[in-house]
Amino acid sequence: MIGEPLVLGIETSCDETGAGIVRGRELLANEVASSMDQHARFGGVVPEVASRAHLEAMVPVLEGAFAKAGVRPADIDAVAVTAGPGLAGTLMVGVAAAKAYAYGLGKPLYGVNHLAAHVAVDQLEHGALPSPCVALLVSGGHSSLLLVRDVTGSVEPLGATIDDAAGEAYDKVARVLGMPFPGGPPIDKAAASGDAAAIRFPRAKYHDGTLDFSFAGLKTAVARWVEAKRDAGEPVPVADVAASFQEAVADVLTRKAIEACRRRDVPDLVIGGGVAANSRLRALAERRCELAGIRLRVPRPGLCTDNGAMVAALGADIVASGRPPSSLGLPADSSLPVTEVLVR
């Protein structure tokens, strides 16, 4: 290998089939196929449906990534794949595909952590990560605060959700309001014309002294408020409910993230995950970080959701660090802890 590593990344932790190709920290291709429409009528992701969709999309997505990058499979230096956490069945599809490419091409295989990859992807837009930095990861399955000293191997959990993740709460509130799945985009859109101060929804664990989150109570409070309006025969102010709910989520997430930076004396905050595309979260984080003297980094929305580029980015960092690759016996681990960045 001469120069920066050319790495293929494969992501199948949930409902997006992603293939990304990077050269060092340069993004060459990021192809994604989503099975979201197939899950919409169920109001959530159905694991078996997602697994079958990955099987159908894998080859076209990979071929599209190579065509977009203008490279041949034989040109790559390594294959990186999400080994966990995620849905067991969907992870197996990606891991099997990555093993096939690695074995067939005679290239090293790296099984990487999905959460660490959400941090690493920011480097494709903003350059090398500060060391250390605090990362706030928010998605349908995760709401976590991490202290990242080295994204290839030193990630310390600071806090996490004790029940629903932020994205999960968005999906459930959207269902209550009659909005489509996934709930993040429609709630964000409706909130733009609403009054965020109209309803004071609860902020669980706001002053409890921990860096953990809880959104189950907020979801229930919204559902009961809406139900009470409907039982009384009154119209539900959807825009105000959406804005007030979104404000509560963004308020808690950003407050805890700033507190994590202060406690660890870390002046850099990175936000990643699908909910990082939310307009209110981005705006409130920017304002609070500016007031606190904290440097904020948030990748563009297309890099926040699950994608292969983030896996390739982390893989390229691991290759450059000289860490040994995974074995071809690499397992898929649905509950892989964030402290395990590389699975051997």
* pLDDT tens readout for residues 137-150: 998 888 999 999 99
Q: What is the pLDDT of residue 38?
A: 87
- C-alpha dihedral (340, 69, 182, 123), degrees to nearest 10: 50
- Going from N- to C-terminal start, the domains of the chain cover 6-121+307-343, 131-299
Q: What is the pLDDT of residue 255?
A: 97
Identify the architecture of domain 131-299 in CATH: 2-Layer Sandwich (3.30)
Percentage with pLDDT > 90 across the chain: 94
Average pLDDT over residues 20-40: 93
Which residues, 6 or more positions from 307, have their beta carbon under 8 angstroms from its beta carbon? Answer: 11, 16, 18, 20, 30, 32, 121
Question: For residue 325, is the peptide bond before it cis, meaning its omega torsion is within 30 degrees of 0?
Answer: no
Q: What is the pLDDT of residue 3?
A: 79
Q: What pLDDT, in 10s, does the model give residues 266-284?
A: 999 999 999 999 999 999 9
Q: What pLDDT, in 10s, does the model give residues 45-64?
A: 898 999 999 999 999 999 99
Q: What is the pLDDT of residue 44?
A: 82
Work out the pLDDT band at 288, boundaries 50, 70, 90. very high
Q: What is the pLDDT of residue 1?
A: 57
Q: What pLDDT, in 10s, does the model give residues 316-341?
A: 999 999 999 999 999 999 999 999 99
Q: What is the pLDDT of residue 310?
A: 98
Q: Which of 255, 261, 269 is nearest to 298 (CA)?
A: 269
Q: What pLDDT, in 10s, does the model give residues 173-205?
A: 999 999 999 999 999 999 999 999 999 999 999
E-assigned strand segments in the chain = 6-11, 16-23, 26-34, 78-84, 109-113, 133-138, 143-150, 154-160, 268-272, 295-297, 342-343
CATH code for the part of the protein at 6-121+307-343: 3.30.420.40
* 6-121+307-343 and 131-299 agree in CATH topology: yes
Q: What is the pLDDT of residue 2?
A: 58
Q: Which of 158, 338, 169 is nearest to 264 (CA)?
A: 158
DSSP letter at 325 equals: P
Asked if residue 264 has pLDDT above 60, the reply is yes
Work out the pLDDT band at 69, boundaries 50, 70, 90. very high
Average pLDDT over residues 151-164: 96
Q: What pLDDT, in 10s, does the model give residues 237-261?
A: 999 999 999 999 999 999 999 999 9
Q: What is the pLDDT of residue 216?
A: 96
| Amino acid letter, 80 | A
